Amino acid sequence: MSCGHDHEHEEMLEFAKVGQKVPEFTLEAFDPAEGAFAEVDLGELREQGKWVILFFYPADFTFVCPTELADLASRHADLVKLGAEVVSVSTDTKFTHMAWKADERMLGDVKFRMAADPTGAVSRFFDVWDYETGLALRGTFIINPEGVLVSSEVNFYNVGRNADELFRKMEANTYLIDHPAEACPAKWTPGEKTLTPGEKLVGKVYEALNDE
């Protein structure tokens, strides 16, 4: 699914929902690692077996946004090791992304592709589009290799996100795709106990987590 054609826009009228498959789409992008324009193709990433992290933010050349992208960049290599493709997205053009990356020193370590959604089609699909401003709210979405949306987080303009928590959620999700019968409790990190839902666990979560 490309965002450049009206009939394809119509396919994106429904909002993305956790637990459901995300339709394929493409976005133009600026690739800082290559210093060149590129494309983000969700179908291609799916064929490669990638997890996809879409990191929506309001606008280039603003204030909280560079701090978020810098924070995300600090965890980029770790997320890649988990099999994830990280993509930032705003309603700016790829040309503005290129200029912002060159001007803003906080973006010095950003190597993930910066995708452009100037029509707001993808932002609307993920329900982060602000109709009053034409900008995207701070939304983070994790899509598994099967194309299913497994995590959704949306913040308003004035609250930045935490890439450490994103990494923790990715660790949990990559564990669970290989252990579908289990569940990860709050603050779970690799090596800690998981839960196996069932009749024996009802009312006994404390005992299960504390060897009682």
Q: What is the pLDDT of residues 201-211, one digit of tens each?
A: 999 999 999 98
Q: How many Cβ atoms sit within 10 Å of the Cβ of residue 88?
A: 24
- Tokens representing residue 176 in the block: 């669970």
- Tokens representing residue 171 in the block: 């660790």
* 48 closest CA partner among 75, 72, 80: 80
In 100-160, beta strands by DSSP E: 113-116, 129-130, 135-136, 138-143, 149-155
Residue 9 confidence (pLDDT): 41
Asked if the model's pLDDT at residue 155 lies above 60, the reply is: yes
Q: How far is CA 86 from CA 35, 77, 134, 163, in A?
A: 17, 10, 23, 12
- Say which residue the tokens 């994103």 belong to: 166
- Tokens representing residue 48 in the block: 């490669």
Residue 1 confidence (pLDDT): 42
Asked if the model's pLDDT at residue 5 lies above 90, the reply is: no
Per-residue pLDDT reduced to its tens digit, 76-118: 999 999 999 999 999 999 999 999 999 999 999 999 999 999 9
Q: Which residues are identified as catalytic?
A: 65
Q: What is the mean pLDDT of residues 15-21?
A: 95
Asked if the model's pLDDT at residue 4 lies above 80, the reply is: no
CATH architecture of 6-162+172-178: 3-Layer(aba) Sandwich (3.40)
Q: Quote the CA–CA distance of 24 and 35 in Å, as a whole number.
A: 25
Residue 211 confidence (pLDDT): 84
Q: pLDDT class for 134, splitting at 50, 70, 90?
A: very high
Asked if the model's pLDDT at residue 36 lies above 70, the reply is: yes
Q: Quote the CA–CA distance of 195 and 17 in Å, as a whole number.
A: 25
Domain boundaries of the chain, sorted by first residue: 6-162+172-178, 179-212
